[in-house]
Amino acid sequence: MPSETENKNSIDENALKPVQAANPPHKTLASSSSAKNNTDLSKTVIFLDREMSQIAFNWRVLAQAEDRSIPLLERLKYLCIVGSNLDEFFEVRVASLLAQNTVDGELVEHPAFLAMLKRISNECHQLTKRQYELLNQEILPQLSKKGVHLLRHSERNEAQRAWVKSYFEREVRPLLTPIGLDPAHPFPQVVNKSLNFIVSLAGKDAFGRGTGIAIVKAPRVLPRIIKLPDEISPNGLSFCLLSSVIHAHIEDLFNGREVINYSQFRVTRDSDLWVDEEEVKNLRQALQGELQTRQFGAAVRLEVAKNCPEDLARFLLEQFALDPDRLYPVDGPVNMVRLGEIVDYVKQPNLRFPPFSAKAVAKYSHNDIFTLLRKQDILLHHPFQPFQTVIDFIRSASLDPNVVAIKQTIYRTGMNSDLMESLITASRLGKEVTVIVELMARFDEEANINWADKLQRAGAQVVYGVVGLKTHAKLALVIRREEGGILRHYAHMGTGNYHPSTTRFYTDFGLLTAHPAMAAEINEVFIHLTGLTKPKKFEHLWLAPFALQPQIIKAIRNEARIAREGRPGRIIAKMNALLDESVIRALYAASADGVKIDLIIRGACALRPGVPGLSENIRVRSIIGRFLEHSRIYYFRNDLEHNVYLASADWMNRNLFRRIEVAFPVLEKSLKKRVISEGLDPYLKDNLNAWLLDSEGHYERKKVRGNQPRFCAQQYLMQQLGSLSDSDEE
């Protein structure tokens, strides 16, 4: 579940206000800074704390792992997602906060900032503790009963121990390089999130010196999850961790020395890339240089085994210049994310969600997609409808002799992509191909650099967007010469990335259209991005950083005006995060004017709903389910005009002012109704996967009341739009 931090040089002042603190396992609590039932708005802190809200989101994800109605392997995946989210939270958000408050290498000890760090530490420690409790007390024991065994050294039988020893000698030991620390062998560079061991030794080394500590790095080329052969796994599938293999034979690495103590450890580092875009002449070359150093950013968290001796933990903290609050002893592998590899091995269907297949939207053959688009727009709702339609659109364009140009933005697309291969094919066939590749897409930089290189070698025009702004908009444009020599434009706009893998797990909308005015505006966006021209004033598109926030606020204020005039005002918005203060203030004002506002915010939300006199007409909910909720939908009733916009942008300062983002309207009435009936209404009815946020910052899980029917939005959409096993019906 990827998320990105604000610019390191722009601190969010509200982050220093102790407004909200998460309280496990299922809720987020406000601190004493906002007293209950406080109606004196002059004393009310009107924004919830961003960091605590983000941690609260991870408690909601962890609740999925606690849910015993969910298949076991899926519960394990949720545990891994929490681990991945926490990694990114430390790598990006915590690292950014520390960097903002560091001067000349020293942390500024501002009381409010230190208090915030303490709250983050307390919550993350509790979250981590509960994560490993679930792993050890519920999920692994229950998987073992189902024939899936993750074996510690003490649990392996003689045959298994013999095989593991042979594996260690054959595959592991030759790649290990123990480093005994002395003046000639200082503490080694430790790569971000890598598996390592610290070892305490007794006696003298081969040269008669008392080097007491050694470091062993686990090479990244080695698998972290090792499947034992079936012939020595009579009771199902057996696995062991690489860390367990090294633990069992670590003494073999120090011949003639006594191993007193040892522990696995992992350090999490600042992974934000920094490039002075105003100084560099070639952003790609500069970024490639930064990628080499990303693995060695400032340390922000240290994980060790639960039984790590205090002296070794203290030694590691000193080496990484970390205070004790950032030490995380864990009862299991220091990188829980790796356990997700077990899921790929196990084929038992009863341990997974029932299979789901997306149904095709419309029938078409090669080039017929353009004929179809001249008749009607195509609305796609992923993953309930296949992303293959978008792939076919670009592939057809690449092979169609009548297509003269293709333009596309790329934010995340993955290492393997049929879309990118189609663009390369189109360029080699002589079409004008322009691709705007965002090199600063966090953690996808290397893949994007590789695609940029391949596209350029194929003859495509590759640009890297606008200096200082990430190109986050999801746009593709096909220009085709048709009868009479007329150039017709066909476009795709989306709320999600051009990444076929994630479209199977993320909910997103996409619109394919041949609407002349809208497609022409998309072309103007590409001209603006490549030529750095001043954008025109658009009739249909809302473009950040120029018009998106003003248009959002204008639409909110319009609903407020309608309400003041005595007619119903209504706003429904769905997105990943809501943090922009100006938009929140506009929503507060609209609420005070009587506008009914429903917000479906998956992750961090700084708005306080339900405060009398401030936000009593605003409700906020978060949906956590089988799929990652990723679509952004803005709905304004507007006196029954029912304005519906789909967008790539959340309502965050970074999206509205530091990115190229596009919100686009759904114009056809039938498709508007679909967006509302598929993307909004079911989520407002959900009483199984919904969490409600109250005025004090509590997230409470929605419960089925009395004879109320059980309703799951994602389940409903799978049944309505796709093909789902009957056994999965609610």
pLDDT at 185: 76
696 confidence band (pLDDT: 50, 70, 90): confident
Q: Please give the mean pLDDT across all residues of the chain.
A: 88
pLDDT above 70: residue 493: yes
279: pLDDT strictly greater than 60:
no
**Per-residue confidence at 404, pLDDT binned at 50, 70, 90?**
very high
For 182-198, letters b (16+ CB in 10 Å) and e give eeeeeeeebbbbbbbbb
- Tell me: pLDDT of 322 over 60: yes
Confidence at 100, pLDDT banded by 50, 70, 90: confident
506 annotated as a binding-site residue:
yes
23 is in an annotated binding site: no
In tens, the pLDDT along 158-181 reads 999 999 999 999 999 999 999 988
**If pLDDT is split at 50, 70 and 90, which confidence band does 281 have?**
very low
Give the class (CATH, top level) of 543-728. alpha beta
| DSSP 3-state of 199 | strand
Burial label for 68, CB within 10 Å (0-12, 13-18, 19+), is exposed
Going edge to edge, which strands form the sheet with 299-305? 179-180, 213-217, 196-202, 258-269, 299-305, 327-330
489 annotated active-site? no
The pLDDT score that the predictor gives to residue 154 is 92
| 507 to 16, 105, 472, 503, 577: CA distances (angstroms) | 33, 42, 17, 7, 15
Q: What is the domain partition of the chain in residue ranges?
A: 1-146, 148-347, 360-536, 543-728
Confidence (pLDDT) at 701: 95
**The CATH number fitting domain 148-347, selected from 3.30.365.10, 3.40.1280.10, 3.30.1840.10, 3.40.1350.10:** 3.30.1840.10
Contact 195, 262 (CB under 8 A): no
**Which architecture, in CATH terms, is 1-146?**
Up-down Bundle (1.20)
Whether residue 412 is annotated as binding a ligand: the answer is: yes
Per the confidence metrics, is the pTM higher than 0.85?
A: yes
Burial of 40 (0-12, 13-18, 19+ CB in 10 A): exposed
H or E stretch including 59? helix 50-66
At 184 the pLDDT is 66
Predicted local confidence at residue 416, as pLDDT: 76
Q: Which of 472, 489, 499, 515 is catalytic?
A: 472
The reply to whether 602 sits in an annotated binding site is yes
Share of the chain above pLDDT 90, in %: 72
Cα(333)–Cα(245) distance, rounded to whole angstroms? 12
Residue 692 has pLDDT above 90, yes or no: yes
Given a contact cutoff of 8 angstroms between Cβ atoms, the answer to whether 636 and 542 are in contact is no
Answer yes or no: is pLDDT of 238 > 90: yes
Three-state DSSP state, 425: helix
CB atoms within 10 A of CB 180: 19
Pick the range with the lowest mean pLDDT from 205-219, 350-364, 389-403. 205-219
pLDDT, residue 173, reads: 96
Residues 76-93: tens digit of each pLDDT: 999 999 999 999 999 989
Residue 218's pLDDT band, with cuts at 50, 70 and 90, is very high
pLDDT the model gives residue 282: 53
pLDDT of residue 209: 67
What is the pLDDT at residue 82? Answer: 97
Confidence of residue 22 (pLDDT cuts 50, 70, 90): very low
Position 24 confidence tier, pLDDT thresholds 50, 70, 90: very low
Evaluate whether 148-347 and 360-536 have a shared fold: no
Q: What is the pLDDT of residue 535?
A: 85
> If residue 575 lies in a helix (H) or strand (E), which one and from where to where?
strand 570-575
Q: pLDDT (tens digit, 9 = 90+) per residue, 422-471?
A: 999 999 999 999 999 887 656 567 777 888 889 999 999 998 877 778 89
- 558-584 pLDDT, tens digit per residue, is 999 999 999 999 999 999 999 999 999
Class of domain 360-536 (CATH, top level): alpha beta
Burial 426-436 (b: 16+ CB within 10 A, else e): bbeeebebbbb
pLDDT over 50 at 26, yes or no:
no
> Residue 43: what pLDDT?
59
Q: How confident is the model over 468-495, as a mean pLDDT?
A: 94
Q: Where is pLDDT greater, at 160 or 184?
A: 160
The backbone region for 459, taken as left when phi is positive above 0, alpha when psi lies in -120 to 50, beta otherwise, is left
Q: Is the pLDDT of residue 717 over 80?
A: yes
pLDDT at 101: 79
C-alpha torsion 704→710→712→715, nearest 10: 160
- Residue position matching structure tokens 């025009």: 461
Q: Which of 307-311, 450-454, 651-655, 677-681 has the lowest mean pLDDT?
A: 450-454
